[in-house]
Every structure is written in C-alpha cells, then in structure tokens.
Amino acid sequence: MLKNITLGQYFPGDSLIHRLDPRTKLLATIALIAIVFVSKGFCGFLLIAAFILACAASTGIHLKFLIKGLKPIFFIIVFTFVLNLFFQTGGEELVHIWIIRITDEGLRMASFMAVRLILLVVSSQLLTLTTSPISLTDGLETLFRPLQVIHFPAHEIAMMMSIALRFIPTLMDEADKIMKAQKARGANFETGSVVARAKAMVPLLVPLFVGAFRRAEELALAMDARCYRGGAGRTRMKQLKYQTIDLLAALAIAALLAAVILLNRFGPF
Amino acid sequence: MNKPIIEARNVSFQYEGAQSPAVNDVSLSVAQGEFVAVLGRNGSGKSTFAKLLNALQLPTSGELIVNGIKAVTEDDCYEVRKSCGMVFQNPDNQIVTTIVEEDCAFGLENLGTPPEEIRRRVDEALESVGMSDYALASPSMLSGGQKQRIAVAGVLAMRPKIIVFDESTAMLDPIGRRDVFGIARRLNLEERITVVWITHFMEEAALADRVVVMDGGKIALEGTPREVFSRTEQVLELGLDVPEMMKLSRQLRDKGLSLPEGLMTVEEMAVELCRLK
C-alpha cells in the first residue's frame, strides 16, 4: 500500500506545458507570481485567472486538483479576508453593528488580498502538477549552476534532493515492515492518548533512523565505487535544451505582463 | 593461462581500531577472463578483499595491482574503479536515482562521458541484462533480482575489465539469483570480463573456473571447484557446505554404488546414475 504513494503531486501527462523545459517552468512560475503582485485591480486578476485556467485546461489536469491545493491555506485566506474586512476603515460605511464596521474600501481590499493569495497558490500548483520532482531538481541544478562561482553548492543540493526522492519509497517500505514487526510483538500504534501514541512511535523511529544511516553509508560506498567525485567534470545523459515552445511560453508570459500593466492603468476596475 | 589482471602479493588490511587484520597476507593472481568464486564464512575477510580490489580500501601492507595499476593516490583509486566495477549485496542501497536508465548513466556521468555516448552505452547495457523494457521505470517498483540487474547494467555501461560481485545474490529469491548469476557467467564467457564472484552458495561456486576459500583473512583453500569440494572434510571444517550432489554421491558411495569422485551438478549425477544400470 505504501508503494503507491505519489511523490509530490506530479500528474503525468504529455501536454505542451508538461513538455516545457523545467527551467522555463520555474522561471515562468516566478514571473507569474511577480505579475500577480504587479496587478493592482480585479481586471488584471481576471486576466491572470483566465491565463492560469487556460494553461490548466491544456494540460488535461482536472480543476479539482488545483482547488485541492488550496485546502491547506484555506484558513489563511479566510483569516486575511476577515482581517482586511474589519480593519480597513476608509471609504463608505456599509454595515455598522456595535464595534464592527464594514466599509466598501474594506470589502474591496479583503477580496483583493484573498484573490491574490488564491492566484499565487494556484500558479505554483501548476508547476508542481506538471513537473516531475526529478526534472524539477535538474532544472534547479542548471538554474543555480552560475552561482557555483560564489561556492553555492548547486550540484550537491540537487544530488541530495534526488537521493531523498529515491529513498522515500524505500524508507516507507522499511517503516511499514518495522511497524508490522513491532505489532507482531504486541506494540500498539492506534489507540491511547496523543502522548501514548507519540511514545509508541519511538520504537518505530529508532530502528528506522539506524537503518537509514546504514543505507546512507552503503550508498556512499556504492557511489564511490562508480567513480562519483562530486559535480566537477560531470556530464549528464539528458541535457536540458530550450525549444521553440519555451520561447512561446516566454512570449506568452511577457504578453500577460504587458496586458496586466495596461489594465492597471486603463482597466475599468 | 592469460596474463594476470589482478595480482595480490602478501596483501594485508586492518580496520582502524580492530584487534586483528581483516585480510591477512593474501597472495592471489587472477587471469584476464577468469571466473573466480570466493567463499568463506561470515567475517572471513572476503568482503574486505572485494573492497580492496575496487580501491574502496587500500591495503595496509603488501602490493595489490589491478589492471596494471597500484592504487596509492586518490587519482589511482579512480582509475582502478573505472576498470574494476562492483555490484553490492543490497540492491536497494546501490541505486542512486529514481529512474532506471538514469541510474545506469550515473557512472558514465561521473566519468564525464559525452551525452550521446552515454545514451548509446546505457541502452546497450540495459539490453544486455534484459531490462530495456524498464528503462523509464522507477527502481522502487522492481523486484530484487531486477534491481540487481540494473546495478549490473550500471557497472557494465562503464565497460570495466573486471566486475566484483560482493554477495550480490544473497538477498534474492531463487529466480533472481539464477538470473544475476547467469548474466555474470555470460558476460564472463562472451565479453571476456573477469569476474570475482563472492558468495555463500556452493552451487554457484561449483560453476566457477576457480574457487578460493577464505578463512580468518587468509586463503585456506584454492583450486578448481572439483579439487576444492573433493576435500569435503576440510570444507566443512571451514564453516562451509559442499554442493548437494557431492554430498549425495558420497552417501551413495558409502552405500556401495560405484560413482566417480567430484560429481557436482545434477546433470553430472544423472549421467553417472544412468550409466550404472
């Protein structure tokens, strides 16, 4: 059962966006986030939302996956909304009950902030849904490579990330096995107070950690045996290459930015 | 006899803080294209010897020359590892990446091979171990035997002259074991890759060109499988077993059947038994 967990939330596919270079997607996502901040009105937001939805539709990813990603920050969105609603006091008064005053300016600000948050999350969702963790890692490594001049360990970080990804299912399996072994000897993981359950995890975590260290040592030896000497002088089988679609994506993002700036100035709302 | 590709002269190795050396005054020469099985009970020093061959450890004394290189500096070690690949025991702990073909490419990437060349050699290596269909699979979805075949492919892609298998079949089911051993044997016969096969399984050792039995860090017995396993008492004393057919033929001889010495495989036994009629 543990073998079937998905890593991250990658949604395999073969759409244009899936096929974009991971670097393009990373940079485009950063640009998209910046554009969300550039936008000063709902008009701009509407356009950005339309852009994101069009992208999502082209990937064949169901809308519910995008919405699912909002769940963890639902509380933050509501909190931001309420806070802005009650504490923005400028503008015309709409409701006044006891000490609570809601103004039209407050309502506008609150919705503006909430929509901004939603757009930020959804645009980064689009990246993680369409890019496998391993190509994300590759993309990050290549993007950060220039920083190696100032001794930023780009290769090491990417290697650590990919090894972590590689060992998640293995360690999950091991945790499952240890749990079964402990259960067979009468351990109880399911019932009791929170403290009792937390304590019950100790005999699970200790062997898991010991096992992980042993694995790490063996893996290091195996990497040595295959001539691993760090990032210097290393080549890659799969070279990342920018293609025409990457250029198109860049143009689309640039067009979106231009449109949002124009809407800021001339938009009706 | 071909020229030796591994030449050990009075090699000893002691782990830091250990009471006695793990490998003690071992002299052994392995010819190019030979298939040598190394046997020995746990702690006999056979795995340490394997690590010396791959320059993962350097001898504390003595001289070890692998493919004409005596490893002293770090660069020497690197050269030795290029020509002497190693497949470890635990299939899970030697696969580095999340995609099968990327793992096969790992060694070549480390060597700085051009991308097109890596692509070609990885495809070749996967083909050779019969795992081409799984090139894009995730290793965590594969069986132990399949993972070991990937590990072999990863080493093979580097085109080594020697491959050391350090109990590579110990954690596999019988089918996986047969597959991996079969691949090693075929690489040895067809590609003339020298194989050092460290194992606990007598049936595998019986199929080697030569058997070396280690005990207490020293070489206790050495010879063709037939020579070694014929000395049943001595082999048992060293904490090892002899192949089932050797035991059977011994018992049958005790019962008065006239069987020749040195029967090791089921096929040989069948032939001899049919001849008795």
Would you list the DSSP string of B199-237? -S-HHHHTTSSEEEEEETTEEEEEE-HHHHHH-HHHHHH
CB-count burial class (<10 Å; 0-12, 13-18, 19+) for B73: exposed
Which chain A residues contact residue B101 at CB under 8 A?
Answer: 237
The residues, ordered by sequence, that sit 6+ positions from B206 with a Cβ below 8 Å of its Cβ are: B225, B229, B243, B264, B265
CB contact under 8 A, A237 and B118: yes
A173 and A68 fall within a common domain: no
Tell me whether residue B238 is in a domain.
no
CB contact under 8 A, B112 and A234: yes
Q: CB–CB of A15/A59 below 8 Å?
A: yes
The domain tally of chain A equals: 2
A52 and A84 fall within a common domain: yes
The residues, ordered by sequence, that sit 6+ positions from B255 with a Cβ below 8 Å of its Cβ are: none
Q: Which of A142, A218, A227 to mutate to test the interface with B (most CBs of B within 10 A)?
A: A227
End-to-end CA distance of chain B: 40
A51 and A91 fall within a common domain: yes
Q: State the DSSP H helix or E strand holding residue B195, giving kind and residue range, or none if neither.
A: strand B194-198
Q: How many residues does chain B have?
A: 277
Cα-Cα-Cα-Cα torsion A118, A124, A128, A133, nearest 10 degrees, comes to -140
The residues, ordered by sequence, that sit 6+ positions from A210 with a Cβ below 8 Å of its Cβ are: none
Range of the domain at A36: 11-131+241-266
Nearest to B140 among A163, A170, A218 (CB): A170
Compute the distance between CA of residue A198 and CA of residue A196 in angstroms, rounded to an integer. 5
Tell me whether residue A47 is in a domain.
yes
Tell me whether residue B145 is in a domain.
yes
Using 50 as the pLDDT threshold, list the residues of chain B that sit under it.
none
A123 and A156 fall within a common domain: no
Tell me whether residue B230 is in a domain.
no
- Contact with chain B for residue A219, Cβ under 8 A: yes
Tell me whether residue A212 is in a domain.
yes
Compute the distance between CA of residue A56 and CA of residue B224 in angstroms, rounded to an integer. 67
CB contact under 8 A, B94 and A239: no
Q: CB–CB of A17/A55 below 8 Å?
A: yes
The minimum CA-CA distance between B100 and chain A, rounded to whole Å, is 11
Which chain B residues contact residue A215 at CB under 8 A?
Answer: 90, 92-93
Assign residue B93 the CATH number of its domain.
3.40.50.300
Nearest to A233 among B86, B112, B139 (CB): B112
A19 and A89 fall within a common domain: yes
A117 and A153 fall within a common domain: no
ipTM above 0.90, yes or no: no
A121 and A24 fall within a common domain: yes
Tell me whether residue B235 is in a domain.
no
What is the pLDDT, as a whole number, of residue B48?
A: 92
Q: Which two tokens stand for residue B63?
A: 């001289």
The domain tally of chain B equals: 1
End-to-end CA distance of chain A: 51
Compute the distance between CA of residue A172 and CA of residue A132 in angstroms, rounded to an integer. 20
CB contact under 8 A, A218 and B93: yes
Tell me whether residue A236 is in a domain.
no
Range of the domain at B215: 4-225
What is the pLDDT, as a whole number, of residue A1?
A: 36
Tell me whether residue A116 is in a domain.
yes
What is the pLDDT, as a whole number, of residue B84?
A: 93
CB contact under 8 A, A236 and B112: no
Using 70 as the pLDDT threshold, list the residues of chain A that sit under it.
1-9
Q: In what order do the strands lie in the sheet with B210-215?
A: B84-87, B162-166, B194-198, B35-39, B210-215, B218-223
Q: Which of B98, B103, B108 to mutate to test the interface with A (most CBs of A within 10 A)?
A: B98
Q: Supply the DSSP symbol for B140.
A: G
A90 and A161 fall within a common domain: no
A118 and A195 fall within a common domain: no
Tell me whether residue B106 is in a domain.
yes
Task: State CA A164 to chain mean position distance.
Answer: 17
Tell me whether residue B271 is in a domain.
no
Tell me whether residue B214 is in a domain.
yes
